[in-house]
Amino acid sequence: MFCSKCGANVQNGATFCSACGQPVPAVGVVSAPTSVTPVIAARPRVEYAGFWLRFVAVIIDGIVLWIVGAVITFPLVGAMGLRGMMRGGFGTYGSGPATPADVLPFVSIIFRLILISLVLRWLYYALLESSSWQATLGKKALGLEVTDMEGRRISFGRATGRTFAKIISAMILYIGFMMAGFTEKKQALHDMIAGCLVIRKT
């Protein structure tokens, strides 16, 4: 199948041309690249979601993850406080310096909390963005969708890659995230790494 506007080869299942953004009709129209004609009354081109929309989505998702995380880790944090009181290991209850045996349970619980929050973030983003929603709650609320370069739904594996590539986007002073504000297809660095787009449903 070829794009009716620019003649580029369009892959099966694509919802828009990855070269020019021209929407592809749902019913496959087979046309040769020689029959390229100017499109007069085209549907709106794919609209990429810009930095600020995505920023608001991140905040909504942050709140959701914070609430879910608090509910999941509540028993662990409770156990930590209880153990602390039983051992008399904290501040005013304390008697003498803490020994490694006092500290170890706390280190282990904190390690588990970090692990749980990592797994939670991974599953939240990867499961929802590879689902039929193609969006987290924040993106859904704002009408945004994650797609591959041809506008198709992404797999769980690709969504996982995109999620973990955010670590790289964050490591360079979050410039990887800010790139969504000025790259051609408004891709953040993790979108480029995973071959993804974030689009606005029109």
Quote the CA–CA distance of 41 and 48 in Å, as a whole number: 20
Asked if 22 interacts with Zn ion (CB under 5 A), we say yes
End-to-end CA distance of the chain: 23
Residue 16 DSSP label: B
| CA 175 – CA 192 distance, rounded (Å) | 13
Question: Among the candidate windows 19-27, 63-71, 92-100, 158-166, which touches Zn ion by CB under 5 A?
Answer: 19-27
Q: Examine residue 19 and tell whether it contacts Zn ion (CB under 5 A).
A: yes
The dihedral over CA atoms of 21, 26, 31, 33, expressed in degrees to the nearest 10, equals 10
- For residue 98, what is the DSSP state? P
Q: How far is the CB of 21 from Zn ion (least distance, A)?
A: 7
28 within 8 A of 52, measured Cβ to Cβ = no
Sole binder of Zn ion in the list 6, 58, 60, 142 (CB under 5 A):
6
Assess 20 for contact with Zn ion (CB under 5 A): yes
Q: Is 3 in the site for Zn ion (CB under 5 A)?
A: yes
Is residue 1 at the binding interface for Zn ion, with CB under 5 A as the rule? no
Task: For the CB of residue 160, give the shortest distance to Zn ion in the complex, in Å.
Answer: 30
The region of 13-21, 69-77, 97-105, 165-173 touching Zn ion under the rule CB under 5 A is 13-21
Closest separation in Å from C-beta 40 to Zn ion:
16
Distance of closest approach, residue 19 Cβ to Zn ion, in angstroms: 4
Site membership for Zn ion, residue 17 (CB under 5 A): yes
Q: Which residues of 94-106 are buried (b: 16+ CB within 10 A; e: fewer)?
A: eeeeeeeebeeeb
Among 193, 197, 140, which residue's Cα sits nearest to residue 170? 193
46 is a contact residue toward Zn ion (CB under 5 A): no
Cα–Cα nearest to 147, from 1, 18, 2: 18
Q: Is the CB of 44 or the CB of 75 nearer to Zn ion?
A: 44
Nearer to Zn ion, 19 or 60 (CB): 19
- Which range of residues in 3-11, 107-115, 119-127, 138-146 is near Zn ion by CB under 5 A? 3-11
Residues forming the site for Zn ion (CB under 5 A):
3, 5-6, 8, 17, 19-20, 22
